[in-house]
Amino acid sequence: MDGATKRVSEYIRHKGFNLSDISRKTHIPYMALYDSLFNEKRNRDLRVDEFLILCNHLGVNPIIFSDDQRKAV
């Protein structure tokens, strides 16, 4: 899992968002979200379009999940 995918996963877990709800509202298949964010047996990174759709849905700037932004904080 790449750094941005891992940080999105941590953010979603920390905030207590429901993956089924996110899937329905974003039209990203549930299994794609699950395999990228929660399934430790799979090494699936979020695709760029999925990442951007998720950030939009969560109401966050995608830059907060970058390595450079985390180092600056």
pLDDT per residue as tens digits for the range 38-61: 998 988 999 999 999 999 999 999
Say whether pLDDT at 69 is over 80: no
9 is in which domain, residue-wise?
3-72
Amino acid at 55: C
Query: What pLDDT, on the 0 to 100 scale, is given for residue 2?
Result: 83
Unique residue bearing structure tokens 């700037």: 61
- CATH code (residue 62): 1.10.260
User: How far is residue 65's CA from residue 7's CA, in Å, rounded to a whole number?
Assistant: 6
Give this prediction's pTM. Answer: 0.84
**Total structural domains in the chain?**
1
User: How far is residue 46's CA from residue 35's CA, in Å, rounded to a whole number?
Assistant: 9
Mean pLDDT, residues 13-32: 97
| CA nearest neighbour of 38 among 15, 65, 8 | 8
